[in-house]
């Protein structure tokens, strides 16, 4: 039998894993952007650190093909 405490513990663990993966994706995107475009403005770093998983995925998809940093981050 699963107790309420067990359920809540598992939900917290899963949420922590999701947040950890998202933070890793953010860090990878920042590293790729710096390698491609040089030092990033603080406003761009803050925008990426606040972005959700969907935004990070879209930007990561464009990081190698977009000609400019603005093109990477502009929503289509």
- Residue boundaries of the structural domains of the chain: 4-73
Measure Cα distances from 1 to 7, 9, 63 in Å. Answer: 10, 14, 47
CA distance 42 to 48: 10
List the one residue out of 68, 22, 71, 67 whose CA is nearest residue 48: 22
Helix (H) or strand (E) holding 6: helix 4-37
What's the pLDDT score for residue 11? 79
What's the pLDDT score for residue 30? 98
Which parts of the chain sit beneath pLDDT 50? Answer: none
The label of the residue with tokens 């930007």 reads 59
What's the pLDDT score for residue 76? 60
């Amino acid at each position: 039998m699963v107790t309420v405490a067990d359920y809540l513990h598992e939900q917290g663990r899963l949420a922590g894993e999701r947040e950890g993966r998202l933070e890793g994706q953010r860090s990878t995107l920042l590293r790729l952007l710096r390698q491609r475009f040089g030092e990033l403005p603080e406003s761009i770093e803050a925008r990426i650190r606040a972005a959700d998983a969907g935004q990070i995925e879209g930007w990561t998809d464009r990081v190698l093909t977009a000609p400019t940093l603005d093109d990477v981050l502009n929503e289509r």
